Structure 1
């Protein structure tokens, strides 16, 4: 087989194997990664790249290495699920770096976390004054979680004793790209006739609707192809 045809074949095979492996491993492998996830992702990428382009490596050897790695990742995931000690060993523990508005320098040094990066992370979450923060925790994936002091937290309806309507359902997509999603209607005991009546009230036909969703509060949000906006904002 000519080399360029072999590379094409191996690349397509590598993609297929990677796709199957990602399905087996689940969403965690493509989410924000902790230390083990990072190592696993690098290893998977290295094996797949060699399978696609390194003609000196036999295909079945690369596939075997990939399968072994997938089994190792699944085993580690199982250990993390069943054992708290194993989970802490493999993924690490969250680390508190601010307590009651005070920076814990020892923990910062242990995490090799700079003040500049800490301030950046807080600013991204809308915090510009460290004194407003009760706790800041560095999670195992390197991101920060924070808890503001009570006097700086946003007021909620519960704080003001304002009654709220109970929402027990997730939003339900009704129309997408001008087509009714019949499966969602059936599964949620919704009537297509009532949906059509709602569209008729707004002088719309199904084909004119880009997206329609039934919100948890019972309201229907509808977006049409024609937005009636004379000069749409263009972010440059």
Structure 2
């Protein structure tokens, strides 16, 4: 009977975790951040007790699972609404290489050695650090890399562009309809330029979900309304 009881509890714990993962969404699985990591560890520990520790009441374990699930779900919704709260909670990406130069202070701030940086670069098939123009440590611990312009794959669009232009790092200007004043000031981009670009497209700031000045100097704009009749959503 004890074995059967543990079997039932273990299967129940597995089903409950599947349901929780489904509730929290795909983002939790693909791109785990600080609060999602903490939630996953705690939920795993509670589920293990749910499966094997018969001294703890099932109702108490279910309450604990519910509390952490709801907390994580509410936080994820708050992050969508309040970007500054998200940045304060999770932090922001750290630039480790800028313009081909290694930023030693940022390595130290992230407790990262040059060996670990080279290791992550090799995992991206970059064995010569001199090939890197920009490298960012994302909040999920992964490294994003942009190679130097002369080492990037050539496209038909590149052949039509002026090859003498220096590569620039993409600059976010609008997120979720909100103007990023700090990005404008730090990159010497006049607010009037951005507004005139939007006006020439017949758009207002409130219509824009995301706007970024790309590496080629062009403005990329994504509206709230994408005008797609049948958007793809692969389940």
TM-score range, shorter chain: 0.5 to 0.7
Shift >3 Å, 4+ stretches: none
Structure 1 residue runs of 5 or longer lacking an equivalent are 162-187, 189-236
Residue pair 1:11, 1:52 contacting (<8 A) in 2 also: yes
Q: Deviations over 1:170-212 (max 9, x none)?
A: xxxxxxxxxxxxxxxxxx9xxxxxxxxxxxxxxxxxxxxxxxx
How far off its partner does 1:128 sit?
A: 1.9
CA RMSD of aligned residues (A): 1.5
Deviation at 1:83, TM superposition (A): 0.7
Q: Determine helix, strand or coil for the equivalent of 2:159.
A: coil
Q: CA deviation at 1:115?
A: 0.8
Q: Which runs of 5+ in 2 are unaligned?
A: 161-229, 231-235
Cα shift at 1:146: 1.2
- In structure 2, distance between residues paired with 1:131 and 1:57: 57
Larger radius of gyration: 1
Secondary structure at the aligned position of 2:125 is classed as coil
TM-score with structure 1 length normalisation?
A: 0.65
- Offset at residue 66 of structure 1 (A): 0.4
Distance 1:84 1:32 in 2: 17
After superposition, residues 117-136 of structure 1 pair within 5 angstroms as: 117-136=116-135
* Count of residue correspondences: 161
TM, length-normalised to structure 2: 0.65
- Cα distance in 2 for partners of 1:12, 1:3 equals 14
Q: For residue 127 of structure 1, give the secondary structure of its aligned residue in structure 2.
A: coil
The question of whether the paired residues in 2 share the 8 Å contact of 1:80 and 1:90 is answered with no
d(CA) in 2 for partners of 1:63, 1:24? 15
Distance in 1 (CA, whole Å) between partners of 2:158 and 2:17 is 49
The aligned residue for residue 90 of structure 2 is 91
